[in-house]
Amino acid sequence: MTPFILSTLNTYKKFSAILCNVNIHTPVFCVRSLKNKKSAVRVENLQYLSDTPPLNCFLFAGDRMSRLAITILFTLLMSIGSPLSAQPPLTLQTHTGEEVSLNSLFGQKPVYLKFWATWCKPCMQQMPHFQRSYEQYGDKIQFIAINIDLNDNADAVAKVENQFSLTMPMYTDHTAKVAKHYEFLGTPFHVLIDNNQNVIFQGHDADQPLDNTLRLLSHNGRVDKVRLLNEKQKSGTQLVIPKDAKKAVLFTTTWCDWYLADTRPQMAKQCVLAQKYINELAAQGIDVEVKVSQLWTDHNAVAEYVKKFTANMPVSIDYGNDLFIEYGINSVPSLLIFENGKRVAKREKF
């Protein structure tokens, strides 16, 4: 019998259902990934397994003729980890550039994540409230300020930190994956997590519902009523890169030309120049496309953008910011040039 992966198991009930046609005396091996080590255990009889096998426990079955194949597979798993294991841990970055696992910041206390940006006007308006909340509940709730790392830098973050005398832990979402994980759609964004690591609150405003939830969380780490936004990330359109031609892709937002006009005038100007430049490329017959961040954007905003700039190329929302993440875009506008299927240039100044 050829070795095969049976399943990733959480309960014996699931395990039994999968093995309904397997001889329980078939040798079974369990490989489980632990935090700092990996271990392999051979079980001669499936009945020896506990009722709740550990998470990420991968079981393999085979007869004596398949032992060699299983041994080779185990060797690979022990050296590089299981291909079915969980995704890499979410990380944040400190002001010194050190990467920190998000899970390492979660302890026994509930958690308050605040996503923000230095150019975000309501974010600045909410900072005094954020600091007061930290001073009031910081001993019972883990506060984490997360800069979204879009058109920002360490100096701008430090300036805001000093301006509002912020004393809570400050981090940067340098990969944008933490924001994606919590279904972030726009700054400011508040996420409250109870002491069982369940998301129980989402919001954009520093309002009474936020204050009430913080107060309840500070008592015993839990709340009875969950308050989540009805904002779900949609599936974005794919980006097709031709293998035998040139293509230009502009990463931008639908609002950077006007929203940043006061706080970041040079950035706003660059957003205008970038779209004009890509219009010129399109007029030359070059394959061009525009991907706009999902940040505070909908189809109406895209339609207004297309009309304003007379954009006659495809313009679509990068839902989930998957392409922004894939291509490491943390500044808009950014123009990527592809030739024969390969990325050959990146331009941020126009």
Cα–Cα distance for residue pair 232/183, rounded to 1 Å: 7
Cα–Cα distance for residue pair 186/184, rounded to 1 Å: 6
Instruction: With H, G, I as helix, E, B as strand and everything else as coil, classify residue 115.
Output: strand
* pLDDT band with cut points at 50, 70 and 90 for residue 55: very low
- The confidence score (pLDDT) of residue 263 equals 86
- The confidence score (pLDDT) of residue 4 equals 36
Q: Which residues face 146 on adjacent strands?
A: 115, 171
Helix (H) or strand (E) holding 210: helix 208-220
- How many angstroms separate the first and last alpha carbons of the chain? 63
Q: Is the dihedral of CA 200, 205, 211, 214 positive or negative?
A: positive
* pLDDT band with cut points at 50, 70 and 90 for residue 87: low
Could you tell me if 30 and 41 are in contact, meaning their C-beta atoms sit under 8 angstroms apart? yes
- The confidence score (pLDDT) of residue 205 equals 96
Question: Lowest mean pLDDT: which of 80-94, 101-115, 155-169?
Answer: 80-94
- The confidence score (pLDDT) of residue 47 equals 35
The 10s digit of each residue's pLDDT in 280-320 is 999 999 999 999 999 999 999 999 999 999 999 999 999 98
The angle at the Cα of 337, spanning 335 to 342, to the nearest 5 degrees, equals: 140
Cα–Cα distance for residue pair 159/2, rounded to 1 Å: 62
Could you tell me if 252 and 301 are in contact, meaning their C-beta atoms sit under 8 angstroms apart? no
Inform me whether the pLDDT recorded for 342 exceeds 60. yes
Inform me whether the pLDDT recorded for 12 exceeds 70. no
Inform me whether the pLDDT recorded for 109 exceeds 70. yes
Name the more confident of 80 and 20.
Answer: 80
Instruction: With H, G, I as helix, E, B as strand and everything else as coil, classify residue 319.
Output: helix
Residue 334: both structure tokens together: 């950014």
Tell me which residue of 73, 89, 76 sits closest to 35, measured CA to CA: 89
pLDDT above 90 covers a percentage of the chain that reads 67
Residue 204: both structure tokens together: 């954009």
* pLDDT band with cut points at 50, 70 and 90 for residue 61: very low
Tell me which residue of 239, 244, 198, 189 sits closest to 217, measured CA to CA: 198
Cα–Cα distance for residue pair 136/184, rounded to 1 Å: 26
Residue 333: cis peptide before it, omega within 30 degrees of 0:
yes
Name the more confident of 134 and 37.
Answer: 134
pLDDT above 70 covers a percentage of the chain that reads 74
- Domain locations in the chain as residue ranges: 4-80, 91-220, 246-347
Cα–Cα distance for residue pair 178/332, rounded to 1 Å: 19
- The confidence score (pLDDT) of residue 225 equals 86
Bridging pattern class, strands 334-339 and 342-347: antiparallel
Establish whether domains 91-220 and 246-347 are of one fold: yes
Cα–Cα distance for residue pair 200/217, rounded to 1 Å: 10
Cα–Cα distance for residue pair 259/310, rounded to 1 Å: 19
What superfamily in CATH does domain 246-347 come from? Glutaredoxin (3.40.30.10)
- The confidence score (pLDDT) of residue 313 equals 97
Quote the DSSP letter at residue 152: -
**CATH code of the domain made up of 91-220:** 3.40.30.10
Name the more confident of 62 and 168.
Answer: 168
Q: What is the pTM of this model?
A: 0.73
The 10s digit of each residue's pLDDT in 230-270 is 766 677 678 999 999 999 999 999 999 999 998 899 999 99
Inform me whether the pLDDT recorded for 148 exceeds 50. yes
**The residue count for the chain:** 350
